[in-house]
Structure formats: C-alpha cells, structure tokens
Amino acid sequence: MSALFRIEHLSKQFGGLKVTRDVSLDLVPGDRVALIGPNGAGKTTLVNLVTGQLRPDSGQVFFGGEDVTRLSDVARVRKGLVRTFQVTRLFSEMTPDEHVTLTILQRKGRATRILERFGHDPAIEFEAADILSTLGLTEVAHRPVAEIAYGQQRLLEIAIALALRPRVLLLDEPAAGVPSSETPRIEAALARLSSDLAVLLIEHDMDLVFRFARKVVVLNGGEIVFTGAPDAAAADPRVREAYLGSYAHASRVA
Amino acid sequence: MSETRPLAASGRRWPRDVIGLAAIALAGGAGYVLFPDSLAFLTRIISIALLVLSLDLLIGYCGIATLGQSALYGAGAYAAGIAAVNGLTDPVALIAVGALAGGVAGLLMGAVLLRAHGLPQLVLSIAFVQLFHEMANKAASITGGSDGLYGIAPGPLFGLFAFDLYGKTAFFAGLGLLLLVFAALSFVVRSPFGMTCRGIKEDPLRIRAMGIGVRPTLIKMFALSGAVAGMGGALGAIATQVVGLDSVSFELSANALVMLVLGGFGSLYGALIGTVIFLGVEHEVSAINPFHWMTLVGVMLIAVVLFAPRGLYGVMTDAVARWRGRP
Amino acid sequence: TVRVGIIGPFSGPFALQGKNFQAGIEAYRALNGKSVGGNEVEIIYRDLPTANPQQARAIAQELVVKDKVQYLGGVYFTPDALAITPILTQANVPLVIFNAATSAIMEQSPLVVRTSFTLWQTVTPLGKAAIERGIRKVITVVSDYGPGVDAENAFKKAFPAAGGTVVESIRMPMQTNDFSPILQRVKDSGADAVFAFLPSGPPTLGFVKAYNDNGLKAAGIKFLASGDLTQESDLPALGDGALGLVTSYHYAVSHDSPENKIFVEAARKAIGNPAELSFPAIGAYDGMFVISKMIEATGGKQDAAKAVEAVKGLAWISPRGPVSIDPKTRHVTQTIYLREVAKDASGQYINKEIESFPGQTDPGLVK
Amino acid sequence: MQTVLSIAVDAFAYGMVLFIICIGLSVTMGLMQVVNLAHGGFAMIGGYIASYVARDMGLGYAAAVLAAIIGTIAIAIPLERFLYRRVYAQPQLIQVLMTIGITFCIIGITNYIFGPTLKTIPLPAALSGPVDIGFRTIAAHRLFVMVCGLAVALGLWLLIERTAFGIRLRAAVDNAAMTSALGVRTEFVYAVAFALAMGLAAFGGVVGAEFLPIEPYYALRYMVTFLVVVSVGGAGSISGALAACLLLGAVDTTGRYLFPDFGNFFFYLAVIVIVCAFPRGLLGREQARG
Amino acid sequence: MPAASLEVLGLSAGYGPTVILEDVSFSVPAGGRLSVLGRNGMGKTTLLMALMGLTKRTGGEIRVGGADVTAMNATARAIAGLGLVPQAREVFKSLTVEENLFVGLKERPRSAIAEAYAMFPRLAERRRNLGWQLSGGEQQMLSTARTILGRPSVLLLDEPLEGLAPVICDELMAVLTRLADSGEMTILFVEQRLDSALNFAERVVILERGRIAWTGTSDTLRDDHTLIERYIGVGALH
Ligand SMILES: Nc1ncnc2c1ncn2[C@@H]1O[C@H](COP(=O)(O)OP(=O)(O)OP(=O)(O)O)[C@@H](O)[C@H]1O
Ligand SMILES: Nc1ncnc2c1ncn2[C@@H]1O[C@H](COP(=O)(O)OP(=O)(O)OP(=O)(O)O)[C@@H](O)[C@H]1O
Ligand SMILES: [Mg+2]
Ligand SMILES: [Mg+2]
C-alpha cells in the first residue's frame, strides 16, 4: 500500500542542540505505530515538526503524496493531519460539548460564520454527544472545563481530535494523567477508529503501547534507533537499557 | 473574569435578549424623561458607548490588547464629517459612511496589530493611533487640523426631523442606532464566529490545532469592530457638527478602555454600564466641583477595583445570582 | 438674576489657564460688584480639560437649556468654540471668548465677541521690530498645530514685508520632549535669529534650555517669540536662561498703569499664589467687562442680538491699555507690546515692555 | 561628519534620559507584570520632593535626590501594601484601571497642594551650563544623565540576573503560588521589588526633570512615551530596555534634526517596524512551545 | 530536617463555594510512606493542595511533627517542612533549570544543586535551558528535584511518574524509597498506576468523592480484587 504519510530526512536543532536528526518514517492507512524513547529524545518535537508548529531546518513532510512542509499548521489539520497535546490545551470557560461542537463546525467549514447560531444544529449536537459518550464525558459535557478533573481533560483532548475525523492522528501521551482504570476508554476509542486511518502514538505507559501498537519506533537523542515489532523492541537490549529498564511487562512480552 | 456559567448555554436565549434590549430602550427613555436638558450629553454617551462596545469586541471577546481604538472611531467621525462638508447631508448615509470608513480602518489596524501579542501589541496600537492623529493634524486642508473640522450641517433625519438645539433628534437617532447595533452584536457574539473568538482569546494555538485560522477570524472581528466604532464616530460628528483631533487620540482610547474595564469586559452589557457610569460620574462630579473632580474619579476607579474586581456588571450579576439563590 | 456660563480648562494639563480665567472673573467681581444694573450676576463654571468639541457642545447645551444661562464665556481651545457657535442663534445666547485664538471663529456666528487676541495680531508687529533691531535672516520654529501655524504664517508675512527673509520654517510635533536636535539645526541654519512659537506650559522650559545649552545664545542668535512662550507663571522655572528673550504680546502682568495695578492686586488675591497669574486672566477680566455691558444694555433680559450690538465699537481702558471691540469683526482691537524678559527691582522675572504698537486689529481676518 | 557626531551625541543623551525615567517601569511592568500606569505619578512625586528640598529648603542637589528617593518609597510602601498587592494576580486590565485611578488621585492632590505651575530643581554649578566637547557644546547635565543611566543599567542587571533576590523575584512573578510553596516569602520579595521600582522612578523623575519638567500633569503627559519605550524593549529585560531607549532616542533625534516637520511620524513608524520585526520586543524571550 | 509525622484531622477544602474534600482524617508516622488512590476527579490533587495551603480549607486541622500548621500560609508551611510536587509540574517557565532548582533550595547552599543533577543527569545537560523549553518528562524531573532539594520533612507527590520513561520511573522510585527509609522524609504519594503505588507504600488511603472510602495496608488491597474493582476500576492491576 502506498504511504499515506511520509517524513524524509527531517532535522531540527535549537541553538547547538540537535533535537531531530535525519528522521525518516512512513505510515500507511491502518498503521498503528508507537513512538517511544527516553525523556527529551525529541518525540514531541517531531510531532511539532510534522504538524507545522515548528519549521524543520531540513527535510520534508509528505501527506497523501503532497509535500506539506511549507503548509501552515491550520492547512495541515484541514487536510486531516491531527494531533493532541502532551500538556492539555483547552478553553477553561467552555464546556466539553462546546469544544467538540466548535470542532465539528470547523470540519464543516462553519466555525467562523457570523449569521448562524452556535449549537442549534441537531445533527451536530448528536454527533458531539456521540463522541463525548465514547470517551465517557457525557456526565461533565456541560460543565466548564476548569471544573473537571485533569484526567477528563485528557480525554477531551482526544475527543476533539476525533471530531476532526483525522486521516493521520498523532497522539502525544494521551494517557498521561489518566488512571490505569480509565485507559481502557482510550483504547476503546482508538479501537473504534476507522481502519484506513493511521495512528502514531507517543506514550510512556508501556501497557498501552504494547497492547496498541503493531509497530514500535524508538527515538533516542533525536535519532531513530530501532524500528520493528513490539516483541522485538522489548527484547532489544539497547532499548531495554536506554528506555525500558526493569519494565515488568516487557519481560512478559519478550 | 470567568463566569462559571457555560458560555453559550444551550437552550433558548432570545427572551433574555429581548429583555435586554427593552431594558436599554427603557433606560434611554428614562434618560430622556429625567434629563431632558442634557440630551447633547446623553447623545455623547451613546456615541462613546458604541466606541466602548467596539473595544469590547476586541478586548473582551478576542483578548486583543489595544489602546488605539479611537483611530477607528476617529476614522468614522472624519469620514462622515468630510462627506458632510462636501455635500452629503443625509444622516443615515453619513452613518453608513462612518461605518465603512471605520471598517476599513479596522482592517488596516488588524493587519498591523496582529503581528504581535501582549505588550508589544499594545504598543503597536498606540503607534497606530498616534500616526492617525498625526495624519489628521497634517492634512489640515481636509480635516481642519487642530482647529477642528467644522461646517458639518446634517440634513433632517429621514427628511423629517431636523437636528436642533435641544438635541432631541440626535438623541433618538443615537438611541435607535445603539439598539440596532446592540441587537446585532448580541447575535454575533453567540454565533460560531463569536465562540471561535473566545477560543482564540484563551489559546490561539489550540484553535489552530482545531483547524481554524486565527488571523482571518481576528481580521474579520477588526473590521466588525471598526464598523461599530465608526458609527459611533459618525454619530458624534453629526450631533456635534464639529470633529476635533481628540477623536483620534490616545486619551480617548485610554478613556474607553477605562470605561470598559469599569463596566466589566467580555460582556456587552458591561461595556454599556461602564460608559454610562464613567461619563455620568465625570459629568456630575465635574459640574459640582470643576476644579478638583479628578481626585474623586480616581478614588472611584480604585474603589471599583477593590470592591468589584469583575466590573460593575459582574457585581450586578453576582447580586442577582445571590438573590435568586436565596429560597 | 442673570446667569453666565463659563467653560474652561479647570483641571488637567491646562488647569493653570483655567485658574487664570477664574482669577480674572473673580477680580472683576471683586472690583465692580456682583450685580449689574440691579441684576445679580451668577457665574456657573464648567470644566472642559482639553480640546473636545463633543463635550464642549454637551456642556454648552446643558448650560443653555438646563442652567438657563443668558451668556456663555470662556473657552480656551478653538475646536470647542467652533462646536458651540452653531447653537448660539437658536439659543439666543452670545458667546464671549476669553482665549480661543483662531481668527475664523468670528465668522461662524454673529453672536461671538472676543476679548483675547489672535496670533496674527500679536506676531505681526514683531516683523518690523526685528528689522529695527538689525535682524535680517530668521528661521521660524513653531509647534505643529493651529496656533503654531498661524504664528508662522503671520511672521512669514510681516517679516518679509518689513524687508527681512525667512530662511527656513520648521514645524515641530506637539509632543517633543528633547529640543536639542531642533535647536542644533537652527544653529546650523545660519540665521540671525529664531522666531518661535510654543504653547505656554512645560515644553517651553526645554526649548529655552536647549537654546542656551546648545550655545545659540552664546553665538548671538536672537530669540523672538510670541508672548505665550514667556508667560509670567513659567518665568520662575525658565530662570536666568530666559533673560533677554524678546516677545510680542498683548499683555504683561508688569504693565505699568494704574488700572493694571488695581487689577493685578485683585487677581492675585483671587488666584491665591501670586506667581500663577498669567495672560488668560486679562481676557477673562475684560470678557466680564463686556458681558456686564451687555447685561446693562439689555436690562437683564435675554436678547443676544441686542447685547452684541451694544458692545460693537465699545472702547475702554483695560489693565492692558486702551482697547475697543471692532464693530466689524467683534474682535478686540488693542496695543501690542514688544517685551524683553528681565528682572525687576525685587528680583522677580518680568516681561519688560520696551516698545508698543497701538491700535492693532486682527490681520488674520482681512487675509 | 560634524552633524552626524552631533546627532549621535544628542541621541545618546536622550536615550539615556528615557532609560533612566523608564527603567523603574520596566521593573514593575516587565518583571513584576504589573502594568503600573501610575509610574509617571511616582516619578513626579520624586520631582516635587526634590524641588521642595533643593529650592524651598535650600539643601544641595545630592540631598534632594536622596530625599526624593526615600520620600517616594515611603509613600509607595503603604500603597503597595493596601492597593497594589490586591492586583498582582489580577488581569492586566484591572491593574490598568486601578493605576489610572491612582494617577488621577496623584494629579488631583498635587494640583491641590502645589498648584499647577512648573517646579524646578536647581542644579549644582558643576552640572549646569554648557560644556564644550570639541565639535559642539552640550549641557553638563546631559553628561551626568548618561553616566547615571549606565550605572543604573549595570547595577540593575546584576541585581536581577545574578543575585538570589533577582531569581526569587522572577520565580514569584512566573508562578507566585508555587514560589511560596517552595518557601519563598513572595509578599516580601514583591514589596522590595516595588520599592526598588519606585525609588528608580523617583530618581528618574529628578534626574530627568531638565527634559520632562515637573508639574501635576506630568503623571499622564508622558505615559505614552513610557509605555512605548518599555514595551519595545521587551518584557522585563534590562538590556532590552536600554537597547530600546537608545534606538528610539536615535530615531527620534535624527528624525527631529533631519525632518522636524515629520518627527513623530518617524518615531511611530519606527516603533511599528521594530515591533513587527521583533514581535516580543527587542530582547524579549519566547515564552511558550507547542 | 529529619522526617516528621503528618496528621490530618477532619480536613475539608474546596474551590470558591464548592466543597470538594469532606472530613478527611489520616496520619502518617515520621518516615512513613502512604499512597493516596482514587479515580479521576475524586479529590486527590485537592487534598495535596489543601495540605500545602494552596486551596481554601473550610475546616479541620493539619499537624506536621506534632505542630499545628493549620493557620499558616503556603510559605510558612513550606518553612515548617511541607513540600509539594504539583500535578501540573509548575516549573518556572522563564527561569533556567538551574535557577528553578535554586528557588527550591530554601536556605541551603548553592552547591547542593549538584544533588539534583545526580538524581537526574538529564537536568545537568539542560541546566542553562529555560523552563518552557523542556520536554514534558524533563519538566517533571525538574519539578520533583526542585522540591526534594529543599529537604522537606513531609513530601507530597502528585503523580510524579507522569510522563517519565520507565527507566527513570525506576530510578525515581528507588530514590524516594531511600529517602523514606533513611528517615529523611515522610512521603505522601498520589499515583494513578496501582502497582507502583502499592509497591512503594506500606499503607493506602482511597478517596471517593472527596471522602476517605477505604484505608488499610497495601498488601490487603493488592489481594482484594473486589475492593480494587469497586474503588479504582477493572483491569487496574495486571
Ligand atoms: N525551543 C526549544 N529550545 C531549546 N531546546 C528545546 C526546545 N524545544 C525542545 N527542546 C529540547 O529538545 C529536547 C527534545 O524535546 P521533546 O519535547 O521533543 O522531547 P520528548 O521526546 O517529547 O520528551 P518527553 O518524553 O519528556 O515528552 C529536550 O531536551 C528539550 O529540552
Ligand atoms: N479550580 C476548580 N474549581 C472548581 N472545581 C474544581 C477545580 N479544580 C478541580 N475541581 C473539581 O474538584 C474535584 C476533584 O479534583 P482533583 O483535581 O482534586 O481530582 P484528582 O483526584 O486529583 O483527579 P485526577 O486523577 O484527574 O488528577 C473534581 O470534581 C474537579 O471537577
Ligand atoms: Mg514529549
Ligand atoms: Mg489530580
């Protein structure tokens, strides 16, 4: 299958620090890839480069065969290249329902209409309610985000991403702050994603990584040091030393 | 500033809007009955209220720092004034000219201001209004410079009501305009556009990640805000028949900001209340003691910050909430 | 009772000038009583801190409609006066201007009378006086706003007419804090003298300082100006640096006449701090005189046209010297004095009159 | 060549004056994140005290400067305790409202007490009068201001960037709750910083009085200039403020010499160009990442 | 400061008018380790913030080493020995890593910063970078190290493992265990990962809607699957 999404020789440095070194990667529809690596390896930076929050020093990003390296972040989102944030970025005065509704409106090209009422379209209301219930947010759907617990805010981040109907979804530690008992919700939401969608997951929760991923990419010092099946990653001594440590589950998988 | 109530509380809001508009109309009527001799002053309040409303659109709804709003007001005032001096006398047309000029100036200002954020943005706005001021001063042959643009003689409103000494026509024209604008803005701030703007205010990066362009949205708001301010300026020009350099000054912008914060930003009612209270107090206090009233106004501002940090409108809604909450 | 509404800058950046309005009025009332021909005169002060025509209009309308004043007086700024003139006829109220100095105001309404001056009037005699002092080449430096432009135009007309040349004209922005570069340029221009106009108040201090510090005084470049620049209340701050500056104006607090002695004493008492007395007080004092004459002529009844008619051609000896109201323009005809900053016997800085040009009308109106 | 040198000297002198008057505001606004529009008011209070001490009491210039600084701080401390402290954590617009209120009060009160006339601070003989610096003359006082400006810049930079107090202050501004949870007495740190800023304001007001004369409306008259200069420099950066003052001083001075009729156009166009080129201020730092 | 005991008696706290925590009482002996568990939004963060003096307390009492700290503000409590690693990390964005650590030193000499670098070598590499430039995990390390540097006698940790790579988690847990065991600190540990929480602490408190729902030893909880399912959720433990 031809690549839906491809990174070629991407590099970025801050001051003297090379945070991304000649990274190349591709995703095909249906891919479920986990990107792991030690803290500060450059995972979030890579996402920023791919989604256009940062400009790479060199290298290219292709999406659906088209070079999007020069496109703005907004244009990339509209094409279906969607991310979530490692640290939640939400509007504290708005409710989850409003977040999702606004996102759906955008998808339909109606987010900046002046002569329309917000939240008066039954179809959109229905879709928003559906997405929120998938992530177990129905109960807090109409409370301002400032008042809901952090874990729920994490889930809302994902809800927004889903409302955009992405073709490539980049999840930056979606489970951080979500209790292990709630991670199944995230997994369930991810499992329901359509199969022609490619997902790249960054996570330090290895349980989630190993249950979700069909391929693991390990980043260290800005470079890809390993690409392969989850079992192989868990067994790889370099990966274990640099990243996994005594991770119990890894030994079980291996 | 945060109200804990969800912003666009679903359900029907229009009864509230109608009540709000009726309240404004009623307040206007009460002003007419209670202060029949101060109509020129009341008209001035309305004119400035439009400026403050337009400022609220940018500051309260989009989080744009600006101390240059009077550039838009002045653009409307001068455009209407110059059109009037050159023979356009229909007041409605003059207001439209003001709105157009304000809108165009708004686009321009947006293009400049959106290049920075926070304090630097504030400075851009100051520079912007100062440049406008200089230009109006330099172009004395068309603007009258520091002597003011005079010789504005608007024709009768709708061909029926002439502008008179008592300022009745100007007042009612202003009140009508205010009601129209207010109704339109109440709708706008609850449209998807309004919601997007609030989102931008809090986190533009988040809005971008949702796939919404921040700049185009804000530019739109600048144009809208400019049109509102421009109408205010045009109203002032028609009612006073003179346009002075003060209408494109930093001082006017700063005063408008003070009025807005006083009333409570992020709410259209706050903008109105702030304008009425500030100008009303200033007018009364300065009539009572024309020499030392400034201290009293200063004390009032400090007191508001200490005892009503969310603005006067915030205090009112809190009071209503408490009263409702009581069984 | 007859009510008179006075509009002036009683607070804000021009509070000093407003205070002088008040001093002039109170001095008049102290010396001439608070009633005219049996009609008690009541003064209502309203504050208008800066040029703001909208507010001026609102205040004037309120004074007329609500406070039922029969006369309007005061007004420091031109745009404010222009905002008031359109309502005078319908209100049946005359406006006596104590300061606002643009010639054109008089044309806006037949009910306006002015007792102050215009820059055309004060500056024009300076042209001849400069030539007499051996000055041939002058550079003009004025603040870039209405009065400044008037001053520049007046000088540029009068000086060449008397045989001199204006080598260069500079208009500097109102908010100029550092005058050093401008005076450096003046120095480099090679003129014999600089003609300057700045509104009275804080900036004059920096200007005069820069004149001295940049060595213009030492280089023998003369300093000519309209009297606004050396108003008496600013002189102590200007200090020795101002000694020898030559200005032309319609009034000096130190003017030597019995009428002025009486006036100054009364006005100083009214203002409190004697050092604060300055030229707006005389416009107000004479303005009150004119208003009194109007009240006398109408017997206290409201008749604006008759009141104005009554003072056309009126002539009297003001503390500033002999003056009259020009029947055609309704602007005050007066003596303009050439003065030099000096120290008097008691060590106070004064504008010492050195020459007088009597019977000056406003040349700005007969352009 | 002569002209260029001459302009350069004027530009430098004017830049230093701006710096010395504005730097206190850079501390409150940039570092403490309090938009203190009453800054001019405090500078003016300093000026009045100095004028009183030097002119009416006849004490020396040095005594006047000292008295101005101490007196202004004495007035500022209760205001900090009862007014400013309430708005540190509030939105900037609320701070604007309150500090404008304070400014109005300061203007009203000084107008009432001292009257609306200009007040001067007599200079000692060594500082008054022109000095010949070869190609032109310049006021001795200007040289004095230049030296003061450089000294203040250096001292302040060391204090903010290199001392424990500076680090704690910046931490408290960044996140007051967390700073106090780490055991730092944030209220004390704030009070000291505020006093410092007000002392600088007073110092600037006195030293700069030759350029910006002391009168009641001083508090508002120069507000725009102060705001512009500080913000162009970049939030809380001493070197940024210095750079901005020198740059804007140069633009202003050159504009006024070469094209006096359009002086302000140049100034404000330059402001727009600079801010567009450096959207966070000259030396302001980026504050967020995606 | 050596470890001190922590006693909480009938603590209630909340935000504005809403009360979140109600009548919470527990105690930890000096040098003890206690894990606080509970689902999302049950008030764990609120509890730690209230202990530190950062949310409004509406009732109850807090004692550190026997001394009543209830009336103190956050600064005074920090000086009295409490230290918090907040959930949101709260690193000073505009300060460098080294300056961040400096603020946490309290009265200790500057050289003590080396301890933090020994704990997290990654921070030493980034010492001149500003707070906002750090990656999520680096911020977490910085936040934890900053508080530990101040040698609190009672350390409050709000999900300190979030965002850390597994190797780093291991190391941090080892450090924390050592600190408690050597009697230097009493540790209150809020964590979402049940196994880490149970392995670390001998005792556990479970919060449910702002009240203590269960308290007991880790071993009891580990073996009681119905209890886990009820208060924490299915599949929490592998
Ligand atoms: N703007 C910047 N300036 C300087 N250094 C930066 C900047 N942004 C990121 N870095 C550095 O680049 C490195 C990679 O950061 P990045 O956020 O990509 O890490 P990460 O792999 O996502 O780590 P984590 O797992 O902790 O989230 C970090 O060491 C960080 O300090
Ligand atoms: N600022 C606030 N204002 C009002 N309510 C709040 C606020 N912050 C939190 N809450 C509410 O307090 C409750 C407890 O929140 P808290 O953050 O203490 O939970 P938590 O147990 O730490 O959750 P998590 O596991 O997600 O971190 C939640 O219901 C939340 O909605
Ligand atoms: Mg990351
Ligand atoms: Mg929590």
> How near does any CA of chain A get to the CA of D289, in Å?
8
| Cβ count within 10 A of residue C34 | 12
**What values do phi and psi take at A186, rounded to 5?**
-65, -45
Q: What pLDDT is recorded for position E88?
A: 82
How many degrees, rounded to 5, is the angle at CA E170 between CA E168 and CA E172? 70
How many degrees, rounded to 5, is the angle at CA C341 between CA C338 and CA C344? 115
Question: Has residue A113 got a pLDDT over 80?
Answer: yes
Q: What pLDDT is recorded for position A252?
A: 47
**What values do phi and psi take at D94, rounded to 5?**
-65, -40
Q: Extract the residue ranges of chain D whose pLDDT is less than 50.
A: 289-290
Closest CA to C144 of C184, C196, C201, C76: C196
Q: What pLDDT is recorded for position E198?
A: 87
DSSP codes, C264-287: HHHHHHHHSSGGG--THHHHHHHH
Question: Has residue A254 got a pLDDT over 50?
Answer: no
Of the two residues E228 and C198, the one the predictor is more confident about is: C198
> How near does any CA of chain B get to the CA of C360, in Å?
23
Q: What pLDDT is recorded for position D199?
A: 93
Confidence of residue A17 (pLDDT cuts 50, 70, 90): confident
Quote the ipTM score. 0.88
On average, the pLDDT of chain A sits at 86
Query: How far apart, in whole angstroms, are the C-alpha atoms of residue D101 and residue C358?
Result: 50
Instruction: Look at A114 and B209 and tell me if their CB atoms are within 8 Å.
Output: no
Q: In a 10 Å sphere around its CB, with 0-12 CB exposed, 13-18 middle and 19+ buried, how is residue C123 labelled?
A: buried
Enumerate domains of chain E plus CATH numbers. 6-231 (3.40.50.300)
pTM comes to: 0.90
Query: How far apart, in whole angstroms, are the C-alpha atoms of residue B214 and residue B199?
Result: 10
Query: How far apart, in whole angstroms, are the C-alpha atoms of residue A57 and residue A54?
Result: 9
Contact E113, E149 (CB under 8 A): yes
- Average pLDDT of span A30-43: 91
Q: What pLDDT is recorded for position D235?
A: 65
Q: Which residue of C has its CA nearest to B290?
A: C47
DSSP codes, B210-272: TT--HHHHHHHHHHHHHHHHHHHHHHHHHHHSEE-GGGGSHHHHHHHHHHHHHH-TTSHHHHH
* D180, D182, D185, best to mutate vs chain E, most E CBs in 10 Å: D182
Instruction: Inspect the structure and tell me whether chains A and B have 3 or more CB pairs less than 8 Å apart.
Output: yes
Using a 6 Å CB cutoff, which residues line ligand 1? Answer: A 14, 17, 19, 37, 39-45, 86; D 289; E 126, 129, 133-138, 163
One-letter amino acid of D235: A
Query: How far apart, in whole angstroms, are the C-alpha atoms of residue B237 and residue B98?
Result: 9
Of C55, C65, C80, the CB nearest to B166: C65
Q: In a 10 Å sphere around its CB, with 0-12 CB exposed, 13-18 middle and 19+ buried, how is residue B213 labelled?
A: buried
Expressed as residue numbers, the domain containing B142 is 4-323
Query: How far apart, in whole angstroms, are the C-alpha atoms of residue C266 and residue C268?
Result: 6
- Residue E47 CA: which ligand is closest? 2
| DSSP SS3 for D115 | coil
Structure tokens at C50: 């800066």
The residue written with tokens 């874990």 in the block is: A151
> How near does any CA of chain D get to the CA of A236, in Å?
32
Confidence of residue C189 (pLDDT cuts 50, 70, 90): confident
Question: Has residue C367 got a pLDDT over 50?
Answer: no
Distant-in-sequence contacts of B3-8, Cβ < 8 A, 24+ apart: B3/A93, B3/B317, B4/A144, B4/A147, B6/A93, B6/A94, B6/A95, B6/A97, B6/A98, B6/A142, B6/A143, B6/A144, B7/A93, B7/A94, B7/A95, B7/A98, B7/B195, B7/B198, B8/A98, B8/A118, B8/A119, B8/B190, B8/B195
What percentage of chain B reaches a pLDDT higher than 90?
43
- E235 and chain A in contact, CB less than 8 A: yes
Looking at residue B8, which CATH number applies to its domain? 1.10.3470
- Please work out whether the CB of residue E111 comes within 6 Å of at least one atom of ligand 2: no
Closest CA to C84 of C115, C123, C53, C113: C53
Query: How far apart, in whole angstroms, are the C-alpha atoms of residue B194 and residue B54?
Result: 14
Q: Which residue of D has its CA nearest to C277?
A: D117
Contact C188, C215 (CB under 8 A): no
Count up the domains in chain D and report the number. 1
Instruction: Look at E166 and A243 and tell me if their CB atoms are within 8 Å.
Output: yes
* E35, E36, E40, E162, best to mutate vs chain A, most A CBs in 10 Å: E40
Q: What pLDDT is recorded for position D286?
A: 57
Of D119, D211, D264, the CB nearest to C206: D211
Of D6, D108, D120, the CB nearest to C237: D120
Closest CA to E75 of E17, E176, E184, E150: E150
DSSP codes, A124-138: HHHHHHHHHHHTT-G
Ranked by mean pLDDT, the top range of A72-86, B67-81, B111-125 is B67-81
Structure tokens at E82: 């409490």
Structure tokens at E196: 């880490």
Query: How far apart, in whole angstroms, are the C-alpha atoms of residue E194 and residue A150?
Result: 18
Alpha helices in chain E (DSSP H): 44-52, 74-80, 97-104, 113-119, 121-125, 136-149, 166-181, 194-200, 218-223, 225-231
Q: In a 10 Å sphere around its CB, with 0-12 CB exposed, 13-18 middle and 19+ buried, how is residue C99 labelled?
A: buried
Contact B204, B196 (CB under 8 A): no
Question: Has residue C43 got a pLDDT over 50?
Answer: yes
Which helix (H) or strand (E) element contains residue D144? helix D140-162
Angle, helices B250-263 vs B311-325, to 10°: value is 10
Of A14, A181, A204, the CB nearest to E166: A204
Which helix (H) or strand (E) element contains residue C7? strand C2-8
Looking at residue D241, which CATH number applies to its domain? 1.10.3470
Closest CA to D95 of B275, A94, B119: B119
Question: Has residue E62 got a pLDDT over 50?
Answer: yes
Contact E127, E120 (CB under 8 A): no
Query: How far apart, in whole angstroms, are the C-alpha atoms of residue B33 and residue D54?
Result: 57
User: What Å distances lie between residue A188 and A183, A194, D87, E41, E162, CA to CA?
Assistant: 9, 12, 46, 21, 21
**Cα E192 to ligand 4 centre (Å):** 9
C303-350 per-position pLDDT tens digit: 888 888 888 888 889 999 898 898 888 988 889 999 989 888 888 898
CA count, 13 A, side-chain hemisphere, A169:
28
Question: Has residue A140 got a pLDDT over 80?
Answer: yes
What percentage of chain D reaches a pLDDT higher than 90?
28
Q: What pLDDT is recorded for position B20?
A: 83
Q: What pLDDT is recorded for position B106?
A: 96
Count up the domains in chain B and report the number. 1
On average, the pLDDT of chain C sits at 88
Contact B49, B275 (CB under 8 A): yes
* A39, A135, A154, A244, best to mutate vs chain E, most E CBs in 10 Å: A39
Query: How far apart, in whole angstroms, are the C-alpha atoms of residue E188 and residue E175?
Result: 14
**What values do phi and psi take at E129, rounded to 5?**
-75, 155
- Please work out whether the CB of residue E13 comes within 6 Å of at least one atom of ligand 2: no
Beta strands in chain A (DSSP E): 5-14, 17-27, 32-36, 58-63, 66-67, 81-83, 168-172, 198-202, 215-220, 223-228
Least confident segment among C191-200, E14-23, E113-122:
E14-23
- Average pLDDT of span B225-250: 92
Expressed as residue numbers, the domain containing D272 is 2-289
Residue among E15, E19, E20 whose CB has most ligand 2 atoms within 8 A, to mutate? E20
Residue among A12, A19, A203, A204 whose CB has most ligand 1 atoms within 8 A, to mutate? A19
Contact C294, C300 (CB under 8 A): no
Enumerate domains of chain A plus CATH numbers. 5-91+166-253 (3.40.50.300)
Alpha helices in C38-175 (DSSP H): 53-65, 78-91, 105-108, 119-132, 146-162
Rg over alpha carbons for chain B, rounded to the nearest Å, is 19
Confidence of residue B4 (pLDDT cuts 50, 70, 90): very low
Question: Has residue C157 got a pLDDT over 70?
Answer: yes
User: What Å distances lie between residue A114 and A108, A110, B191, B217, B235, CA to CA?
Assistant: 15, 9, 6, 10, 25
Query: How far apart, in whole angstroms, are the C-alpha atoms of residue A71 and residue D266?
Result: 36
- Please work out whether the CB of residue A14 comes within 6 Å of at least one atom of ligand 2: no
Which helix (H) or strand (E) element contains residue B175? helix B168-189
Query: How far apart, in whole angstroms, are the C-alpha atoms of residue D224 and residue D267?
Result: 12
C118-137 per-position pLDDT tens digit: 889 999 998 888 888 888 89
Q: Is the dihedral of CA C241, C154, C327, C115 positive or negative?
A: negative
CA count, 13 A, side-chain hemisphere, C207:
29
Closest CA to C23 of C347, C293, C280: C280
- Average pLDDT of span B189-199: 91
> In angstroms, how far is CA B39 from the centroid of its own chain?
19
The residue written with tokens 């185009």 in the block is: B216
Q: Is the dihedral of CA C178, C180, C181, C183 positive or negative?
A: positive
A212-244 per-position pLDDT tens digit: 889 999 999 899 998 989 888 888 888 888 888
Q: In a 10 Å sphere around its CB, with 0-12 CB exposed, 13-18 middle and 19+ buried, how is residue A38 labelled?
A: buried
